[in-house]
A and B are shown apart, each in its own frame.
Chain A
Amino acid sequence: MKHTLSVLVEDKPGALSRITNLFARRGYNIDSLAVGQTEREGVSRVTLRVDCAEHSLEQITKQIYKLVNVLKLTELTPDDAVEREIALFTVAAPPERRGELMAFADHYGARVSDLGPKEIVFEMVGHPEDLDSFEELVRPYGIKEMVRTGRIGLSRAVRH
């Protein structure tokens, strides 16, 4: 099963490899990984998406929690988190099919970030699953290149 972990770490060399090593040594692949600054100086947030068994995940999260540079760890669950990702797609776009592509893009809120005679570079920010859907939709047209940042997320705003 897929899980999203959000880990606050001190900005120290090796902090990231200590975390990823705990997955690698058990033979788990990391689907996506995003690291960036937070509201606190010297503290980064690592957002990891992994496909691993529940029991292993529990073991790995306990091990992550023990790392000296790790300040906090939470699992982001779909209901309780806002999740976003950015993707760029270079899609083959002969003039006769551009109209359809633009309609899809419009529907999904993707933007054209560059344009050539034979292809369009779309940029899309959204929920990772919406990115997946858009990707599926344009795939038959020919995705020449694609890149995704990996998902990031935060807990939902406090309601009360």
Chain B
Amino acid sequence: MTRMTGADAIIRSLEAEGVDVCFGVPGGMIIDTYDALYRAQANGSKLRHVLARHEQGAGHMAEGYARASGKVGVAIATSGPGATNLITAIADAWMDSTPLVCITGQVPSTKIGTDAFQETNATGITLPIVKHSWLVQKASDIPATIKAAFHVAQTGRSGPVLVDITKDAQVAELDFKYPDHVDLPGWNPPRKVNQRQIISAARAILEADKPVIYAGGGVINGEASAELLELAELTGIPVVTTLTGKGGFPDSHPLNVGHPGMHGMKYANMALNRADLVIAIGARFDDRVTGNVSAFAPNARVIHFEVDAAEIGKIREVQIPICAPLQPALAKLLGELRKQIPEGREGPAEWISKIAEWKDEFPLRYELGDLLKPQQVLEAVRDATAGRDDIIWATGVGQHQMWAMQYMVCDRPRSFITSGGLGTMGFGVPAAVGAKAARPDATVICIDGDGCFQMTSKELTTATLHGLPIIVVLIRNGYLGMVRQWQEMFYDERYSQTDLTGPIPDYAKMAEAFGAVAMTVTDSSELDAALERAIAENAAGRSVVVDAVCDSQEKVFPMIPPGASAADILEYGSHEKVKEFEAR
């Protein structure tokens, strides 16, 4: 037991949890904790703090850190506006099940409820978007609360938690001892795997003629990628991965059938649609994947492996539910399959060759033109990094994100970091900075849009000052492109408030102002050299912005129109068919 202040205890608790980097912005109600951090660092603490330029950035950095490392991300903010600025990141982490511990300062306990300066009810505002939250008003409660916060954030389905700590609790003293266990009688995420269900699942898998594995972000969060790979190879079952599941199964594996959903590959959607068995693993039947739910995989039985009981049967009826942590559940399934699989059994060969035909028939495609095409830029980026196993991608939200999903090749989990559930514009740059903090050895490349970049580009300053250099490939199409696409296709080309063209901002100057190297590319002939230089500059420690001036008219295909089903998918160049579709 050591006597110390609550603020010191916060820092000591973070150290005890093995936190090496945290992200945040100080302020009046968290100043004592920052003072404790300063003193700890002066005394040799290895706990690093990255000063973001906006708390939203700090939150997304913590998310990027968590998604790249598999560890809990930590974001710190002051009360009031500090806490409210964090909210978008908390909501984002909630939707994508990213483990986050957010620590906010709060006004002194004697002032709570008085509308004191910079008082907001942080636990109240975040209530629907956290796994749990705590308002701490006593210094002596700090260690146990932080212990519990880390435990809740990362057990069961991972996600964000908030610890709101009053100023007086930070200032008061306590006898510090970090607890070695948590006391949370109501927190009982599933731990066991029901063997009977596993046996049924194995039987259903071996009986199916047209099975598809539908793998989501849970595979990555649940550290079950190796088991998934084994499952696919053992059974010969093809795999589609969702946007957040990208990299959970190698993109370049012969059994990989791409991504399903609104802008997924046509063959991926067809495979799901015609399947007689869908094996959902850590996926949640999101509407961007299913389209019209009643027409989604209409002939399939469903096995659902999922750690969160509330996801099972939420959207789609499930015949064989398996509510358990994914890694041990898949390991058990593999054991059972090995017992049941007859000697010399082959995979579903006919089904596989059918899918191969679809792959040939409906590849991703686009047409070159006078102007640079975003897809062309992304293919060049992909080729410039081909064969490297140290690339981490981050993205903004919009068309460029969908193209990144389509064109980037991710063969490893935690190599594609994107905002799936919330679709948060501006996620890319700070998430990339956070990923770089987690994996300094990796080359982190953010595929960003011009709209997104304007929301959070300031975090390039953070990247420069904290030695966290990233590459931004800016798909500058001069529009809030994804919205523009909908306006063109569904709103008779009324481009309401989506035009970003014009002389300002000067993206190259912006990048330089933030300490990054800037390159503007307008012609395909310049692409390869620019990317090569970008990678070299980045390897030498600089952030780089490759400002790629692209065709603003280009649209993302395939596309399942909103509310439609996979059968109505529109291919490249077929968007006149929207009218036909709408007429029906």
**Chain B residues whose CB sits within 8 angstroms of the CB of A67 once the complex forms:** 132, 186
Within 8 A of B (CB), among A59-76: 59, 62-63, 65-71
The answer to whether B310 touches A21 (Cβ under 8 A) is no
Task: Please determine whether B185 and A71 come into contact, CB atoms closer than 8 angstroms.
Answer: yes
B184 near A18: Cβ-Cβ < 8 Å: no
Q: Does B309 contact A (CB under 8 A)?
A: yes
Task: Confirm or deny: A58 has a beta carbon within 8 angstroms of a beta carbon on chain B.
Answer: yes
Produce 1/0 per residue, B364-388, CB < 8 A to A.
0000000000000000000000000
B567 interface residue, CB < 8 Å from A?
A: no
Chain A residue with Cβ nearest B123: A14
Contact B127 A62 (CB under 8 A): no
Neighbour of A66 across the interface among B123, B133, B310, B314, CB < 8 A: B310
In the complex, 7 of the A-B residue pairs with CB atoms within 8 angstroms, ordered by the A residue number, are: A14-B123, A14-B127, A17-B124, A62-B309, A63-B310, A65-B309, A66-B308
- Residue of chain B at shortest CB distance from A43: B185
Chain B interface residues (CB < 8 Å from chain A): 123-124, 127-128, 131-133, 135, 152, 156, 184-187, 308-310, 313-314
Complexed CA–CA distance, A67 and B310 (Å): 12
In the A-B complex, list the 9 residue pairs whose CB atoms are closest, starting with the nearest: A62-B310, A68-B132, A71-B186, A68-B187, A70-B186, A62-B309, A63-B310, A69-B186, A68-B186
Contacting pair A68 B131 (CB below 8 A):
yes
Nearest chain B residue, comparing its CB with the CB of A65: B309
**Closest A-chain residue to B309, C-beta based?**
A62
Q: How many whole Å from A154's CB to the nearest CB in chain B? A: 20
The residue in chain A whose Cβ has the minimal distance to the Cβ of B161 is: A68
Question: Nearest A residue to B314 by beta-carbon distance?
Answer: A59
With the chains together, A67 CA to B132 CA distance in Å? 7
CB-defined contacts of B127 to chain A, threshold 8 Å:
14, 17-18, 21
| Chain A residues near B (Cβ < 8 Å) | 9-10, 13-14, 17-18, 21, 25, 58-59, 62-63, 65-71
- Give B284 Cβ to nearest chain A Cβ, in Å: 12
Decide if A10 touches B186 in the complex (CB within 8 Å). Answer: yes
- Give the nearest-CB partner of B151 in chain A: A68
Nearest neighbor of A10 in chain B, beta-carbon distance:
B186
Q: Which residue of B lies closest to A14 (CB)?
A: B123
Asked if residues B128 and A10 are in contact (CB atoms below 8 Å), the reply is no
Which residues of the other chain, A, contact B309 by a CB distance below 8 angstroms? Answer: 62, 65-66
Least distance between B489 CB and chain A CB atoms (Å): 31
How far is the CB of A64 from the nearest CB of chain B, in Å?
Answer: 9
Pick the residue among B123, B128, B152 that contacts A68 (CB under 8 A): B152
Q: B128 contacts which of A25, A65, A70 (Cβ < 8 Å)?
A: A25
Smallest CB separation, A123 vs chain B (Å):
35
The answer to whether B314 touches A13, judged by C-beta atoms less than 8 angstroms apart, is no
A residues less than 8 Å from B131 (CB atoms): 66, 68
- Residue in B135, B152, B308 whose beta carbon sits within 8 Å of that of A13 in the complex: B135
